[in-house]
Structure 1
Amino acid sequence: MIETFEAILINLGIGYKLLFILITIVLGFLISKLILFFMNRMLKKASDKLNVDPTNYSFLKNAVSFLIFIVTVIIIFYSIPELKSVGMSLMASAGIFAAILGFASQQAFSNIISGIFIVIFKPFRVGDFIKIGELHLGTVEDITLRHTVINNPENRRIIIPNSVISSETILNSSITDPKICAFIEIGISYHSNIDKAIEIIQNKASHHPNFHDNRTDEEKSGNIDQVIVRVINLGDSCITLRAYVWAENSSKAFEMKCDLFKSIKEQFDKDGIEIPFPHQTVYLRQEEPLKITQI
């Protein structure tokens, strides 16, 4: 009779442990689904703002599910004495493996974390024209957790790891206001007519098809010039003029700037406005022929 009662208690203990394992697994599953639900909503909003495919973040969601599964297994092994010793051995082996794996994939995780920061802080979006550091510029085509794809003016795709972008200075020409003020700097000689040169620059700039009148209503009523031209330097050989010319975006500003350099130079030639350039004077020394004296 006593042996039967002890057997019942043992069976009840086993049943309790099985019930605990089942409840822990169910709770882990529910918590995982709840976290993924909120993550999907957050990433959906971020994807809409960045114009990115939400499936790009599937790795992050899978990683969270895997992490919750690991935590659930650890709780089960540490809560049941019979499994604790086995769990300690497995965790020791897993710890060594995780250290090796973490060291080998350090750069990959760095790119993923940087990609998450780009999604959260949004320094740029798909379609923005950006410049990264001093080398790369172009239009953002895609943002993933590992890298960002940029289409440069040569129509070549530049794939930059997110960790590299996070450590560089980003110049974003589209994040708030896409309008660009292009600086047109031209040097004229000291004997040229400054007022005539300014008039030519203003006329050519204001009639360019890409020119954007950025004046306020008060400036228009006050007859402020559409194109402001200032003398910014009196150099050794030239007077430097700078025109502030507005365009709707970076690409139009670049095209307009190139066209204006050509048209202004041509008009300067017609009106006698000289653009100075360096001169060098070369003196050739001529040696006198040697005189031979006969004795």
Structure 2
Amino acid sequence: MIDKIIPFDTGLLLTIILILIVAGVASRLAKSAINKHLRNIADSQESKDYDNATRLRFLKNGVNFIIVILTVLLITYTIPSLRALAVTLFAGASIFAAFIAFASQQAFSNIVSGIFIVWFKPFRVGDIVVVGTHFGSVEDITLRHTVIKGLENRRIIIPNSNISSDVIVNSTIEDPTIQRFVEIWITYDTDLKKAMSIMEEESMKHPDMIDGRTLEEKINGEPIVLVRPTGMDERGIKIRASVWAKDLATSFDMYCDLIREIKYRFDEEGIQIGVPHRHISQGSNKGSQLVSKGI
């Protein structure tokens, strides 16, 4: 009975343990080095290197995947029985291989899409984007998916292949400055020039307002804040002030402030805000009938 026991290969066991130890150490060292670079980028006060941060985060997420694959291959090659089994499977199990390839098609599609995102850079970690109906800042890009931090601090996880086939609106890349439209309706009997003047004054007073004019517009004497009527409807006359801010988040805060301050000034100056009007006509059989509600 003892003669039939398979001899225990101590050398093979030590080799496998050594491979696992080396893989674990390599993973820790790689992640530590990447984290150090990411901290240096985050601590930089001069500028944020979004491109390097994106590549490093993607590499960090791919380190474990690459090391696991290499470790499995090394162990398979080290153990003779597993090596022979692997050769047999790859050589003879074509149906099994086709099934695995089909099952992993979406996974590989996500990996390839992730590489394309990092390479072509339609967005980077830290950019503010709209993907489909989802809005937020890009928090991470992994081999499989992209993580977007939404306005309510929720994480939106989108497969990379879905992002590659969708329209992306990037509010940060190239030029982060934003032109925000502040639109208000006033009644038809209100002093239009006075209302436009108030909107321009309040916009110019805001500390986050910047001069977003082009060189040509400055030469032509275009105003820093362009205010003009842009439409008429049931509510009255629509006035639009075009105000620039340094980025999307700042522009939203500025917009909220301007709506408040302009409303206060309108109240002080007697400017009436436009509201929808209801037009009533006499119906033949049903009495008073609503014809138009406005918007």
TM-score by length of 2: 0.66
The corresponding residue for 2:56 is 52
Distance 2:266 2:50 in 1: 52
Distance 2:119 2:277 in 1: 56
Correspondence list, 1:33-182, <5 A: 48=52, 50-53=54-57, 54-58=59-63, 61=66, 91-93=91-93, 95-133=94-132, 135-182=133-180
The corresponding residue for 1:255 is 253
Matched, 1:244 2:242: yes
Distance 2:225 2:90 in 1: 74
Unaligned stretches of 5+ residues in structure 1: 1-44, 70-82, 286-295
8 Å CA contact 1:185–1:243 kept in 2: the answer is yes
Unaligned stretches of 5+ residues in structure 2: 1-48, 75-83, 288-295
After superposition, the Cα gap between the structure-2 partners of 1:215 and 1:121, relative to the gap in structure 1 and judged at 3 Å, is same
Distance 2:89 2:152 in 1: 57
After superposition, the Cα gap between the structure-2 partners of 1:97 and 1:189, relative to the gap in structure 1 and judged at 3 Å, is same
Say which SS state the counterpart of residue 115 (structure 2) adopts. helix
- Runs of 4+ aligned residues of structure 1 deviating over 4 Å after TM superposition are 59-66, 87-90, 216-223, 281-285
Which digits, 9 at most, give the CA deviation of each residue in 1:242-275, with x for residues without a partner?
A: 1110000000001111111121122112212222
Report deviation, 1:279: 3.4
8 Å CA contact 2:55–2:118 kept in 1: the answer is no
Correspondence list, 1:4-23, <5 A: none
Say which SS state the counterpart of residue 239 (structure 2) adopts. strand
After superposition, the Cα gap between the structure-2 partners of 1:277 and 1:120, relative to the gap in structure 1 and judged at 3 Å, is same
Report deviation, 1:55: 2.7
Distance 2:255 2:146 in 1: 29
After superposition, the Cα gap between the structure-2 partners of 1:92 and 1:174, relative to the gap in structure 1 and judged at 3 Å, is same
Say which SS state the counterpart of residue 52 (structure 1) adopts. helix
Say which SS state the counterpart of residue 142 (structure 1) adopts. strand
Q: Among 210, 226, 231, which residue is 2:208 paired with? A: 210
Distance 1:214 1:223 in 2: 13
Moved more, 250-259 or 215-224: 215-224
Paired AA for residue 228 in structure 2: R
TM-score by length of 1: 0.66
Say which SS state the counterpart of residue 160 (structure 1) adopts. strand
After superposition, the Cα gap between the structure-2 partners of 1:109 and 1:257, relative to the gap in structure 1 and judged at 3 Å, is same
After superposition, the Cα gap between the structure-2 partners of 1:46 and 1:218, relative to the gap in structure 1 and judged at 3 Å, is closer
8 Å CA contact 1:46–1:119 kept in 2: the answer is no
Say which SS state the counterpart of residue 140 (structure 1) adopts. strand
8 Å CA contact 2:114–2:145 kept in 1: the answer is yes
Q: Rg larger in 1 or in 2?
A: 1
After superposition, the Cα gap between the structure-2 partners of 1:157 and 1:88, relative to the gap in structure 1 and judged at 3 Å, is closer
Distance 1:140 1:176 in 2: 16
8 Å CA contact 1:230–1:241 kept in 2: the answer is yes
8 Å CA contact 1:52–1:143 kept in 2: the answer is no
Report deviation, 1:164: 1.4
Distance 1:171 1:143 in 2: 17
